[in-house]
Structure 1
Amino acid sequence: MSPAPGVPGVPGAPTLRPGSPAEAGLDPGELGRLVRDVRALPDGPRPWCAGAVVLAGRGPVIAVAEAVGWAVRYSGYDEEADAGVEPAPARRVPMTVDTPFDLASLTKLCTTVAVVQQLERGTLALDAPVDRYVPECTGVAAHGITVRDLLTHTSGLRPELPLYELPDRASRWRALRTEEPSAEIGTRLYSDLNMLLLQQVLERVTRRGLDRLIREGITRPLGMSATGFGPRAGAAATEDQRGPWAKADRGMLRGEVHDENAWALGGVAGHAGLFSTAHDLAVLCRTLLSGGSYGTARILGPDHVALMLTAPGLGFAVDEPWFMGELAGRGAAGHTGFTGTSLVLDPATDTFLVLLANTVHPRRRPPDSGPRVRAATALARAAAPRPTGPGTGH
């Protein structure tokens, strides 16, 4: 059995360091294209984002670390002009590579790791019904929904509930526990409710809050000191949250969780609420690519990492070209977040890509994963073997 999550384990797993494309074994021309594309994202009359941070590399080498644009560009949104309200230049806040972001659904990845840690310990069973652990979850109990169903988004639960409309947290959790599937079980239907129910399972089994589980089992042993639930000072701004486009009237948000249900649940939720930096997320990628170890810390064993990352994936999306581009197809895994966040790790090439952006600043727009696809494709091409033989110079 592997060491308990968060306990120092097998030494020697490589830790991240900055380096050149050559040191990473990556094509500098393709990485240059990746960087140029990211630098253009905050430009134009309808920019994709106000600002962004991208980290990419191979093995232990970070070959790209770039910040562009603004962590805070707008003070609000003018609905009549359909444009952001720009403050005096001195009040704008430039983006840096250390800027924390509201991760939105990337939170689900840490919730997943926390669940798989309990699977490894034997305190949870993947195919056990949810109500074995939380009998109050009567909505899923009637249908025999399992921990696996929640992790693979095959529970049939609808994408979300308007928990923020209910008067208090007790009624919000009660609504979640009594919610029944709206689609046939086994049908893949991505749902925030799955991760919220997994939060309930984790907290009941361990008798600890999700924030503590993630801190003690993931972020502290890995040295991810910039990662945690909000509020978070210095974070990139998100949205001027007002009706009719938002579900709550909260004004311009910075350092407060963007997701309305996570906010209504106090900021700690299985589906959203974490803040982090690109470097911390690269550490998580490196840990998983190394089979669960980073330096002298071990948070999972290789078999359980493989269980999580092997198609169809547990919590992680696997081989999804709509945001992974040409990294998809060989077992790449990752996730996206509504606020503009994403990460991809590719065991086949030992590469990782973290792209964080505040695409909802100053307000949400129809989703567009084109920049994610281009960045992932550039990294895939940078990692591709170069041709050899007569006429190639090799």
Structure 2
Amino acid sequence: DLYDLASITKIAATTVSVMKLQEEGLIDIDQPLSKYLVELDSTNKAGLTIREMMAHHAGLRPWIPFFKGTIDQNGRPVDSLYHRQADDLFSIEVAKDLYLRKDYRDTIWQQIFQSELEKDKEYRYSDLAFFLLARLVERVSGKSLDEYAAENFYRPLGMQQTTFNPLKKFPADRIVPTEDDDYFRHQRLQGYVHDMGAAMLGGVSGHAGLFSTTADLAILMQMLLNDGYYGGRYFLQPQTVQLFKNRCDVCSRRGLGFDMKETNGKQAPNLHISPLASDHAFGHLGFTGNCVWVDPEYDLVYIFLSNRTFPKMDNYKLSQLLTRSRIHTVLYESLTFQ
């Protein structure tokens, strides 16, 4: 079955795509993003570098609830912005029989461009950075993020069950539902991305939107574990993988795009990684209950996919019971026992 990967999209689509562009010399992560997205020149984001954005050190807001500006006081989609049938104007499919005006994308981008920055550049996890990084991939490559990632990674790796907007390729019963939405789309979300912002951009964004299986993700993560090598060829050069999976200079924990363990013996239980994992383990979490961790020291790839948000996203049992990190620990214990 296919699962909504939520923020694992950040590494499984956006980060690997940025890595490829960096490797090919099409971008320089130490240059301001505005060098490639000139529309940022006149904003407070003009001087922010790609590296800062990937490390979540750009001072950007965590997220913006874009959907709240499109619903009425009863939480129902506003008629002037949504139609039940698609046409030339109402063409962004956010859910079954629910289509947003295509020009509302411009409103979303303006909200991102005009959003305030924090005064400091301390670590602050931000979806907005990855909205912008997907725009970077599209601008530089001339292809949308989903097309670029599929062309350079998913298709040549044989990842036939990894895609944005999975209902275009798979029946709904192959896709795990994520929520019975009673606050925005008012239906069961199955095959439509759970993240509201990604849905309002047509299901393709840099922070969320990708769907996949454990088997497909294992291929991509094994390629990264192998420093870019898989199936007899290099998809990324080893030095590129090393650059992105190493901790950045300005933060205590994260790589570029990838999350990592806390250092200096600190524990971050919200990471849902085993305390037995090495300091070189890298991966990411997803809001729908997913996690992936790759540990080069143990030659280990751990993938946990779930739909903990179903039927409601206020289900926190996975976190409360430490299920993901406990399973991860069992894997390490089995390795050391051998």
* Contact preservation (8 Å) 1:103, 1:339: yes
Provide the aligned C-alpha RMSD in A: 1.6
Which ranges in structure 1 are unaligned for 5 or more consecutive residues?
1-98, 387-394
Q: 1:344 aligns with which of 293, 308, 315?
A: 293
What are the within-5 Å matches in structure 2 for residues 1-394 of structure 1? 99-109=1-11, 110-137=13-40, 138-142=42-46, 144-164=47-67, 165=69, 168-185=104-121, 187-232=122-167, 233=171, 234-243=174-183, 248-311=184-247, 312-320=254-262, 321-322=268-269, 323-365=272-314, 367=316, 368-369=318-319, 370-384=322-336
CA distance in 1, matches of 2:202, 2:119: 29
1:71-121 per-position Cα deviation (integer Å, ceiling 9, x unaligned):
xxxxxxxxxxxxxxxxxxxxxxxxxxxx10011001001200100111111
* Contact preservation (8 Å) 1:102, 1:257: yes
1:345 is displaced (CA, Å) by: 0.7
Shift in CA distance, 151/327, structure 1 to aligned 2, threshold 3 Å: farther
1:385 is displaced (CA, Å) by: 6.2
* Contact preservation (8 Å) 1:153, 1:189: yes
Shift in CA distance, 206/140, structure 1 to aligned 2, threshold 3 Å: farther
* Contact preservation (8 Å) 1:237, 1:254: yes
Match of 1:271, SS? coil
* Contact preservation (8 Å) 2:308, 2:315: no
Point out the more displaced range, 304-313 or 210-219: 304-313
Richer in strand (by share): 1
Point out the more displaced range, 366-375 or 264-273: 366-375
Query: Which structure has the greater CA radius of gyration?
Result: 1
Q: Which amino acid aligns with 1:141?
A: K
Shift in CA distance, 297/230, structure 1 to aligned 2, threshold 3 Å: farther
Match of 2:334, SS? helix
CA distance in 1, matches of 2:315, 2:118: 25
Report how many aligned residue pairs link the two structures. 282
Match of 1:221, SS? coil
Q: Which amino acid aligns with 2:19?
A: V
Identity within the alignment, %: 38
1:203 is displaced (CA, Å) by: 1.1
1:348 is displaced (CA, Å) by: 0.4
Runs of 4+ deviating beyond 6 Å: none
CA distance in 2, matches of 1:219, 1:183: 39
Shift in CA distance, 103/293, structure 1 to aligned 2, threshold 3 Å: same
Which ranges in structure 2 are unaligned for 5 or more consecutive residues?
71-80, 82-103, 248-253, 263-267
* Contact preservation (8 Å) 1:139, 1:181: no
1:207-265 per-position Cα deviation (integer Å, ceiling 9, x unaligned):
1111111111110111111001013332101101113xxxx233111111000000011
1:4-26 per-position Cα deviation (integer Å, ceiling 9, x unaligned):
xxxxxxxxxxxxxxxxxxxxxxx
CA distance in 1, matches of 2:244, 2:333: 26
